[in-house]
Amino acid sequence: MLQTSSQGSEFSDLWSAFSRSGSQAEYCQRWLDLQCARIPYAKNAILLLRTEQHSASNFTPIGQWPENGEALSAIVELADRVIEEQCGLVSDLDQQVTVDDIQVDLYGVAYPLKVDQQIAGVVAVAIATRAESALAYAMEQLQWGISWVELLVRRHQRSQLDSELPRLRSALEVLTSVLADDSFDASSMTFVTGLASALGCERVSFGVMRLGRIRIKAISNSAEFGKQMNLVKLVEAAMEEAVFQRGDITFPASDESALVVRDHTHLAEKHGCGAIYTLPLFQDEHYFGAVTLERTGERPFHVDELAAARAITALCGEALQLKQRNDRPLHSKVGESLYNQARRLLGPGYLGRKLALLMIAVLVVFFSLATDTYRVAADTRLEGAVRQAVVAPFDGYIDSADARAGDQVVREQLLSRLDDRDLRLERLHWVGERAKLQRQYEEALATHDRAKSKVLAAQLEQNQANLDLVERQLQRTALRAPFDGLVINGDLTQLIGSAVKQGDVLFEVAPLDAYRVIMWVDEHQIGEIAEGMAGRMVLKAMPEERFGLRISRITPITEARDGGNFFRVEAVLEGTSPRLRPGMEGVAKIEIGERNLFFTLTRDLARWVRLKAWAWTP
């Protein structure tokens, strides 16, 4: 859009006023004037900003155009919609204005100000036109121009952070000094000295609650304050005044304050304090102390200084209380703990503790007298009594796979077949060679060539041996099951055509009518196991059935399993089931004998204690 010289002069004046603006309100008003001057047909506008940094609903008008006019209720409602929907909007305001004696509809264009993904403000402009190009230009102008307001908001946030940083730095410095000291007394003196230095106080006192009364623990720049009894009593009274009223007390008190400041007034009159600030220290649902800050002369505490004092005491208060508790002698800590527990058990209330103690006593008596069968538990695995391997009879290639792991087979059932094409060709070769030698042999006999006939006879025998070998190999290309059972290992369905070498294990077959149980017993319990002991086993696949077993062999070799050492123990299965399969796992319990129930439940703990006691005993 073209600008006339008068418009250029107007923009120049507006830019000049905008650049000279000082306060936040003036800055926003001049910015809004400039935006409305750049948007054709603008009739009314409003700028809202969020009043609180962490509030999502408190927005206040900070600028409107015309400056001395009144914002249209329609654009205020449009601004509220933008805040709710968090996006720019263009809407018909259902109002008309007269432009050059013509009634023109008013349209609203509004755009939000987002700072750190949160709505910080919104600007809304009423435009006397319905042309899409004019509305689009207005929205574009607001999108570009809102950056100036964002800059203002961020500068304001930065100034707030800059004002808080010294306060936080002071708090951290004091806390670091307090934590660096070993004792509570030294930490208390460091705390009051650091607080006095950070806030420019003539005197800072720290007191702790003891038997319902405040007792001064440290006064800044005063290692010994026992001689200043009058001062100590006045400060303690001021601290108690704040603690009993459960609030911070500032002296001189403001007109809005409803707290009693009588003791603070006495302290100020006796020692010429111009300003006093007392903070009660609250921790673990009770007040454990207080801090009093004093200044002389006409130097009252400002709001920032009060906030800094609260920040420092909030950080250091818990550390001081922990140091106070840790500095108590051991007998005092133990005595206090025992006294508290005895008071709760024998005194009124705490019915739950009393019932719990009674139940514990009953359980101890019961477990000391009751007996039960002591059993040793062990992980188990079911295996076939024998495991027959089906191996490759010679080097060759897999031609077919008729069975795989998990299949139930019968004796002589085909499991797999090796490629026999080369053997068949070799057989044809030896058959042809035999016919040739037979013909030569007959000719030698006809010519009565005895020497040649003997050589040919030997060659015929050698040929027959080779032919018999090939026939035998052709028969062995078919790999068959050695007996009725289950294929427990071997799957050649994905290896058709692959090469195998003589002796390679292709299948393993186990019978289904004979099993053995393999158990892994922990080394700590192997001494309680003996051959011939009976037990019962439950398999994961059949938890509803229990199978009897009897130990047949204990292998004197350990295996590392699950981070421990275990002995391999074999057992004979008593009884069987058609559902049993080799490889099933479960848990077996070997019966040792009747033992005390308390021993049964605590045997692992008792064993560990005995072992550690032996290791630690010189």
| Whole-number Å distance between alpha carbons of 376 and 587 | 10
Answer yes or no: is pLDDT of 145 > 60. Answer: yes
| Whole-number Å distance between alpha carbons of 294 and 300 | 10
For 158, the token pair is: 């930065």
CB 135 within 8 A of CB 127: yes
Q: How confident is the model at residue 157 (pLDDT cuts 50, 70, 90)?
A: low
CB 124 within 8 A of CB 110: yes
pLDDT in tens, 463-489: 888 888 888 888 888 888 888 888 878
Give, in degrees to the nearest 5, the angle at Cα 492 between 491 and 495.
Answer: 135
Q: How confident is the model at residue 336 (pLDDT cuts 50, 70, 90)?
A: confident
Q: What is the mean pLDDT of residues 19-46?
A: 76
| Whole-number Å distance between alpha carbons of 275 and 297 | 8
Q: How confident is the model at residue 54 (pLDDT cuts 50, 70, 90)?
A: very low
What pLDDT, on a 0 to 100 scale, did the predictor assign at position 380?
Answer: 93
pLDDT in tens, 432-445: 888 888 888 888 88
| Whole-number Å distance between alpha carbons of 315 and 308 | 11
> Amino acid letter at 246?
R
| Whole-number Å distance between alpha carbons of 571 and 593 | 18
What pLDDT, on a 0 to 100 scale, did the predictor assign at position 227?
Answer: 54
| Whole-number Å distance between alpha carbons of 374 and 379 | 17
Answer yes or no: is pLDDT of 2 > 50. Answer: no
CB 154 within 8 A of CB 118: no
Maximum separation of any 2 CA atoms in the chain, in Å: 157
CB 32 within 8 A of CB 146: no
Q: Produce one character per residue of 294-316: b if its CB has 16 or more CB atoms within 10 Å, e if not.
A: bbeeeeebeeebbebbbbbbebb
* 388-508, CATH topology level: OB fold (Dihydrolipoamide Acetyltransferase, E2P) (2.40.50)
Judged by phi (left if over 0) then psi (alpha if -120 to 50, else beta), residue 395 lies in beta
Answer yes or no: is pLDDT of 124 > 70. Answer: yes
3-state SS string over 391-403? ECCCCEEEEEECC
| Whole-number Å distance between alpha carbons of 435 and 474 | 21
Q: Which superfamily does CATH assign the domain made up of 514-616 to?
A: Efflux pump adaptor protein, beta barrel domain (2.40.30.170)
Residues present in the chain in total: 618
Q: How confident is the model at residue 171 (pLDDT cuts 50, 70, 90)?
A: low
Q: Taking Cα atoms as reference points, which of 150, 152, 159 lies closest to residue 115?
A: 150
| Whole-number Å distance between alpha carbons of 135 and 247 | 56
Residue 592, CA distances (Å) to 372, 374, 376, 565, 595 in order: 11, 6, 7, 21, 9
| Whole-number Å distance between alpha carbons of 580 and 278 | 82
| Distance of alpha carbon 316 from the chain centroid | 30
pLDDT in tens, 494-530: 888 888 888 888 888 888 777 889 999 988 888 888 8
- CB atoms inside a 10 Å sphere around CB 490: 22
Q: How confident is the model at residue 460 (pLDDT cuts 50, 70, 90)?
A: confident
Q: What is the mean pLDDT of residues 71-89?
A: 79
| Whole-number Å distance between alpha carbons of 249 and 243 | 10
What pLDDT, on a 0 to 100 scale, did the predictor assign at position 4?
Answer: 46
- CB atoms inside a 10 Å sphere around CB 391: 14
Q: What is the DSSP string of 365-425?
A: HHHHH-EEEEEEEEEEEEEES--EEEE-SSSEEEEEE--BTT-EE-TT-EEEEE--HHHHH
What pLDDT, on a 0 to 100 scale, did the predictor assign at position 3?
Answer: 46
For the chain, residues classed under CATH 2.40.50.100 are 388-508
For 513, the token pair is: 């009518």
Q: How confident is the model at residue 15 (pLDDT cuts 50, 70, 90)?
A: low
> Amino acid letter at 601?
L
**Which segment of 115-119, 490-494, 604-608 scores lowest on mean pLDDT?**
115-119
Strand order in the sheet with 485-489: 388-391, 505-510, 485-489, 408-409
What pLDDT, on a 0 to 100 scale, did the predictor assign at position 1?
Answer: 45
What pLDDT, on a 0 to 100 scale, did the predictor assign at position 345?
Answer: 78
For the chain, how are helix, strand and coil distributed in percent, rounded to 5? 45, 30, 25
What pLDDT, on a 0 to 100 scale, did the predictor assign at position 321?
Answer: 76
* 181-326, CATH topology level: Beta-Lactamase (3.30.450)
Q: Which residue has the higher pLDDT, 225 or 196?
A: 196
Beta-bridge partner residues of 587:
379, 538
pLDDT in tens, 242-292: 888 888 888 887 766 778 888 888 888 887 777 888 988 887 667 888 989
Residue 436, CA distances (Å) to 432, 433, 463 in order: 6, 5, 11
| Distance of alpha carbon 449 from the chain centroid | 98
| Distance of alpha carbon 568 from the chain centroid | 40
Average pLDDT for the chain = 80
pLDDT in tens, 350-379: 888 888 888 988 888 888 888 888 888 999
For the chain, residues classed under CATH 3.30.450.40 are 5-160, 181-326
| Whole-number Å distance between alpha carbons of 577 and 570 | 19
Answer yes or no: is pLDDT of 163 > 60. Answer: no
Within 8 A by CB and 6+ apart from 528, the residues are: 376, 592
What pLDDT, on a 0 to 100 scale, did the predictor assign at position 100?
Answer: 62
Q: Which residue has 């009976």 as its token pair?
A: 534
3-state SS string over 48-114? EEECCCCCCCCEEEEEEECCCCCCCHHHHHHHHHHHHHCCCEEEEEEEEEEECCEEEEEEEEEEEEE
- CB atoms inside a 10 Å sphere around CB 366: 11
Q: What is the pTM of this model?
A: 0.40
CB 340 within 8 A of CB 565: no
What pLDDT, on a 0 to 100 scale, did the predictor assign at position 586?
Answer: 93
What pLDDT, on a 0 to 100 scale, did the predictor assign at position 21?
Answer: 66
For 5-160, CATH number out of 3.40.1160.10, 2.40.110.10, 3.40.630.30, 3.30.450.40 equals 3.30.450.40
Q: Taking Cα atoms as reference points, which of 98, 87, 86, 123 lies closest to residue 108?
A: 123
For the chain, residues classed under CATH 2.40.30.170 are 514-616
| Whole-number Å distance between alpha carbons of 235 and 295 | 13
Answer yes or no: is pLDDT of 411 > 50. Answer: yes
Q: Which residue has the higher pLDDT, 57 or 507?
A: 507
3-state SS string over 114-176? EECCEEEEEEEEEECCCCHHHHHHHHHHHHHHHHHHHHHHHHHHHHHHHHHHHHHHHHHHHHH
